[in-house]
A = this chain, B = another copy of it.
Amino acid sequence: MPEHTVTSRLQLSGLCFLLQTLTIILFAVFVRYSPESSAELCLQQLNCSRRKLDLGFQHPRFRDGHLQALLGFGLLVAFLGRYGPGSVATSILTMAFAVQWAILIQGFLHFFLNGKIQVGAQSMVSADFCTAAILISAGAVLGRVNPVQMLLLTLLGVTLFSLNEYILLSLMGVSDSGGSLTVHAFGAYFGLMVSRILHQSQMDKRKEQQDVGPLSDVFAVVGTIYLWIFWPGFSSATTAHDNAEPWAVLNTYFSLAASTLAAFVLSPVLYEESTPRMVQIQDAALASTAVMGMPGEMLVTPFGALVAGFLAGLISLLGFRFLTPVLRSRLKIQDTCGVHNVHGLPGILGTLLGTLLAALATADAYSGRLELVFPLVAQGSRTATDQALCQLCALPVTLLLAALGGGLGGAVLKLKGLRSPPDTRYPESKVLREVAEEGPDCGVSRKEPGTSTVV
């Protein structure tokens, strides 16, 4: 076995040991379970529960957070089977470390009380949101980074995500309970910037393979179904408002339903197919949930959700057809999982919609809920217009932070000694690669040139 692989193996093993020891020590020093006062604590920080958290109530949706963060993305990532088990394992490693790291960083920013981080169900939910963003970023570069690089990226990504979240939610008083901006847009553009920096010309030379196998289709079916089932709970996991929450849930469902029809409307026109591929339906569903992140709890009528979902569905398909090729050829940005179409653009659309709704927010339209959705407006310390302005300003802030962070991250990963490609020498990955010949693959399944693998 070649030398550099051995070193890279030990590199990984050592880094994991180092990081885990570090977190254990930091946890030992700083982290304590919060007495149930955590709810009171967090409400000044995050736009979370306004009342003492009933944990029996909290736990299920806290679990939804996990479901989505792990399952939905886990399946998304599983599509990349063609890059060998390494990439799936890598993303699980990413989750495992991101959760721990997020607890620490977010803890210092949000839950720090007299020298200790107060950990509770609420802080775990926030950590899940952060993990989701990191996994979105990973979706843009997976298959082109090795585990060691991914861990370093996680270190940086989690820190920047928490910083951005802190600026938006706590300083600017933006309300973005479902994370259109903080999770989807940030994650997508952070990952895309890293992908841009990591770009290596010879990659585009690789010939692509077109056929999609039954397995990928099965994955897409299961993935779509899970989105339908669990995302609504996820996108409303931080809104523990007594009656705001169900609206966010229902809005997300309606948006999902509309996005599916959008896929059926566009796919036959864009591609010579009578019915869309399952992956296209899944992308539409993902996009429709990303767009519902911010406006989810603001929409007071179901038809708004239908319209937004329908648009998001159209955007994701149009993006894959026309934008992704441009990104790759002109901007030299490879987007393995098309996160730009599925998370980036819809996230921005969601933010704009949220801004609009904030501007239109009136006491009588929201009645009791205004105090829950836009507390500052309800308290009169801010007009609806100011709120809308804040929501809008949050967009450039996030994009800037994501771009700078991504640039920095990419630069770090290009350092010598880290550049070894993901190892692909052991039996499974060989077996997998054979399957991959007609195997699952998000990037390629949409007939785009040049998605390539290090294999």
Chain A interfacial positions (CB closer than 8 Å to B): 1, 5, 8-10, 12-13, 16-17, 19-20, 23-24, 27-28, 31-33, 36, 54-61, 63, 66-67, 70-71, 74, 78, 81, 85-86, 88-90, 92-93, 95-97, 99-100, 103, 119-121, 124, 146-147, 210-215, 217-218, 221-222, 224-226, 228-230, 232-233, 242-243, 245-247, 249-250, 253-254, 256-258, 260-262, 264-269, 272-278, 281, 300-303, 306-307, 310, 422-423, 425-428, 431-432, 435, 438-439
Q: List 14 A-B contacts (CB under 8 A).
A: A17-B265, A27-B301, A36-B243, A59-B61, A59-B245, A70-B229, A71-B226, A89-B276, A92-B224, A103-B302, A120-B250, A214-B439, A217-B432, A274-B422
- Whether B275 contacts A28 by the Cβ 8 Å rule is no
A89-B281, A214-B435 as given contacts; A5 in contact with B274, CB under 8 Å: yes
A5-B274, A301-B33, A431-B213 in contact; A20/B265 too (CB < 8 A)?
A: yes
Cα of A253 to Cα of B59 in the assembled complex, Å: 13
Instruction: Give the complex CA separation of A100 and B306 in angstroms.
Output: 9
Contacts A10-B268, A70-B229, A96-B256 known; list 9 others, CB within 8 Å. Answer: A13-B264, A20-B261, A20-B306, A74-B225, A95-B228, A97-B257, A147-B275, A214-B435, A214-B439
Q: How far is the CA of A225 from the CA of B70 in the complex (A)?
A: 6
Describe A's contact surface by its main secondary structure: helix
Assembly of this chain: how many copies? 3
Q: Given contacts A228-B70, A233-B63, are A274 and B146 in contact (CB under 8 A)? A: yes
Q: Cβ of A246 and Cβ of B55 under 8 Å apart? A: yes
Which residues of chain B are near A425, meaning CB under 8 Å?
274
Enumerate chain B residues within 8 angstroms of A93, measured Cβ to Cβ.
260-261, 264, 275
| Contact for A71 among B5, B229, B269, CB less than 8 A | B229
Q: What residue in chain B is nearest A89 (Cβ atoms)?
A: B275
Across the interface, which residues of B come within 8 angstroms of A67, CB to CB?
229
A229 touches B273 (CB 8 A): no
9 tightest A-B CB contacts, nearest first: A274-B423, A96-B260, A27-B303, A9-B268, A56-B57, A28-B303, A16-B264, A13-B268, A20-B261
A66 partner, pick from B19, B81, B229, beta carbons under 8 A: B229
Known A12-B275, A31-B301, A275-B89; contact A99-B253, beta-carbon cutoff 8 A: yes
| CB contact under 8 A between A218 and B264, given known A27-B302, A275-B147 | no
B32 near A301: Cβ-Cβ < 8 Å: yes
The answer to whether A278 touches B124, judged by C-beta atoms less than 8 angstroms apart, is no
